[in-house]
Chain A
Amino acid sequence: MNDSSIAKSLPANAEALAFSYVERKGLLKLTIMNLLLNIVTLWFYRFWAKTHVRKHIWSCVHINGEPLEYTGTGMELFKGFLVVLAVFILPYAVFSGVVYVVYGPESPLHIIAYIALIFLIQVLWGFAIYKARKYQLSRTQWRGIRGTLTGSAMIYSLLYFGSQIAKSMSLGWSTPVLNTVLQEQITNDMRFGDAAFKFKGRAGPLYPTYAMCWLLTGAAIIGALVVFFSSAAASGYFQDLFNSDKNLGDEALHWLGLALVVLILFLLVAMVLIPMLWAIYTAKELRTFATYTRFDGAQFQLSATTGSVIWLTIVNLLILIFTLGQGWPYIQQRLVRFMVDRLTLDGKVDIDRIGQSTAKLEGRGEGLADAFDVGGF
């Protein structure tokens, strides 16, 4: 069935969906209140703080004039935390404590237990992402209908873990394929009410951009090394290094200068140049994945440009730094707004036909994602 036949099968009252971000007052007050209550409660209020911020941001996202609604509660997040505490953190802490008592404070078992913990976190990272996404979707309503993920978090987790290993083993070259597979897996599990999202597409179109970014990154690293060694050689660092007549004070100064040059170069390349290069790929991937995604036959488009991704990242980083992390609600608002302002849906959707999701609502959420500090919302 092609797009035109889908369009023909839609009833006359099918609607095109328009996304908009309608800002509401109150985020500053919310941020300040959350900070104060977090301080008073030794950061245990964070679950409720997160919920209030989500409620605010969700309510600013309008689809055809009707806002999204976040129905999660702080207590659900807190319960999720308690479960992770009981099955994950506490057993590890008790195990460490027992090792400490039985084998002594310097036992290598501490390191083995720590490595095992890191491994477990890596294995469960995808699980945490999936469960957090599922919880957020199930607590997101539009027109009284909620979303969900219908698949298995464990399958996604294994896929995610395997993909991380494959990415590092292929020096990153399998990234476009594996990101596409992961996106396909999670998007095809996504539902709004009883209506499904569909993801279909190949990683091929991502490769030219990926290859360009990969090669430019390599060139940037090699370039930085060439600049470093040539300037070091030109300024006589190497001669000084092997010159035993030099007094120690001069040598220390030279090394200090050299260390500064290395540090600045490292900062420029690692924190500015390389992320900016990879913003080209990120923007391409966002655009491509959007066009691969359909809802009720309508196709998404996302007009994310490299410049907009860089600007989003830089400003968010500045907010994070200058508010000492307390401006996170604004960062989340900017992330949501970035997507909403650039997202369009080509085609019409038979909204009236969409029924409520029958998926069971879990009573708790995001424990692992909170413990691992998985990114996102």
Chain B
Amino acid sequence: MAIEAVFFDGETARDRVVTLRKVDNDLEFVGADTPLTRWSIKGLHPIDPPTPGQPFRITHDSRPGTRLVLRDQFFIDGLIAQNKHLRGGYGWRHIWHVLGWTVTGLAGAAAVGYVVLTILPGQVAGMLPDSWRNRAGDQVVKSLVGDAKRCQSRGGNEAVTAMVAALAEGKSDLPPVSVEIYDLPVLNAFATPGGRIILTRQLLSEAESPAEVTGVLAHEIGHVAYLHPESQLVRVAGLQILISTVTGGGGTDYTANVAGLAALLRYSREAELQADAYARDIMEAGSIDPTGLKKFFEKIMKLEKFMIPDSDDNSKKSLFDKIGNIFSTHPGTEDRIKNIVPLPVDKKPVVIMTEAQWMALKNICG
């Protein structure tokens, strides 16, 4: 059966009337100014899904710029019925194609995410120059303590030096640290990039012995030794880059807000266990009673539910107030407490500081 169709050659906008018929598995057409052309039906593509009552427009692999417009509905129906690939639109093949790419894409994204968030931070942290670490540390401390007063006194400073010296007895290559105490009504301690360790007034108030504070300090020095703050800094930055990439730049600026800083304080459970193990080792090597740390952890677990920041004015709160107390940033504490065991019986605990120094430390913020 021959029908009339219109052919566009893709060279000019001129429409050319042609006579078209199906010959075996091909379409053959010819017109007054169109040479005899034969297209395999297999190579045909619908321009749009066929719509009953509207012209059906097709092209061919061999000449993708051309268009053949069929208007004979009977011929169109027959052609489509015998050749499902001419139906166009959504089909299961298309959906499976999309799903396949999606699964591949997600797997790729997960792999990149794993490298950026797990493997890279530790590697990059070790390469950061000291000036970068110190500058980032300054920024973090500034954000964390807000306008809180830094507490210092001669006796208190001597007590801090004594604690660090006692820990250094157990480990000669202790990383250089700077311990700072701030007048903050929250129970927390934190290590920042650049080896700065911050203790709060509340933490010292709640402690009952030098061994408790020294234990906390040993744990924070563990974070410093393993470059956990620096790794976390790189991890948060990597997370921001990933979010920006996935959302096409539309992600929240995670790096410059409180949520970003809060994320910075939350080490992984592995990092906490590493710091715990470090603390246990240097305390044991230095003959410092680790049960002080254990007691301290147990005590603040009980106290935690009563700890309510005493300022209602949000604008006056430091970031510590917003983030909360020590257990909101240290996960899985109960198990970690169980891992703290007393010194071997043959080791006698050393005296970390004098009673006067201890009292000076407890009252360092006045």
Interface residues of A (CB under 8 A from B): 22, 24-26, 29-30, 33, 37, 40-42, 44-45, 48, 55-56, 59, 66-67, 69, 81, 84-85, 88-90, 92-94, 96-107, 110-111, 114, 141-145, 193, 351-356, 370-371
Contact = CB atoms under 8 A, between A and B. Distances in A.
B355 to A, nearest CB: 39
A352 B54 contact: no
A117 to B, nearest CB: 9
Chain A's interface: helix, strand, loop or mixed, by majority? helix
Given A85-B245, A90-B244, A93-B240, 18 more contacts: A41-B102, A59-B47, A59-B48, A69-B48, A69-B67, A100-B236, A101-B233, A102-B136, A104-B137, A107-B139, A111-B256, A144-B8, A144-B9, A193-B12, A355-B11, A355-B12, A356-B10, A370-B248
B14 A41 contact: no
A42 to B, nearest CB: 7
A114 B124 CA distance: 25
Nearest to A84: B248
A88 B253 CA distance: 16
Interface of B: 8-15, 47-49, 51, 54-55, 57, 65-67, 69, 89-90, 95, 98-99, 101-102, 105-106, 124, 128, 132, 135-140, 142-143, 233-234, 236-238, 240-241, 244-246, 248-249, 253, 255-256, 260-261, 264
A350 B69 CA distance: 21
A350 B68 CA distance: 21
Contacts of A352: 12-14
B12 A353 contact: yes
Given A96-B240, A107-B139, A354-B12, A102 B132 contact: yes
A40 B249 contact: no
A25 B50 CA distance: 10
B256 A106 contact: yes
B253 A144 contact: no
Contact of B241 (A97, A351, A370): A97
A101 B51 contact: no
B65 A144 contact: yes
Contacts of A103: 135-136, 139
13 contacts: A26-B49, A37-B98, A40-B98, A41-B101, A96-B237, A96-B256, A100-B236, A101-B124, A103-B139, A104-B140, A105-B260, A106-B139, A143-B13
A89 B248 contact: yes
Nearest to A89: B249
Nearest to A42: B246
A100 B233 contact: yes
B48 to A, nearest CB: 4
Given A93-B241, A96-B255, A97-B238, A106 B54 contact: no
Contacts of A145: 10, 12-13
B133 to A, nearest CB: 9
Contact of A106 (B8, B69, B89, B143): B143
Nearest to B67: A144
B258 to A, nearest CB: 10
A272 B95 CA distance: 43
A17 B347 CA distance: 101
Contact of B12 (A26, A55, A90, A356): A356
A156 to B, nearest CB: 23
A97 B90 contact: no
Contact of A144 (B13, B101, B138, B233): B13
A371 B13 contact: no
Nearest to A36: B95
Nearest to A104: B139
Contacts of A356: 10-12, 65
Given A143-B8, A143-B15, A105 B255 contact: yes
A322 B60 CA distance: 42
A56 B241 CA distance: 36
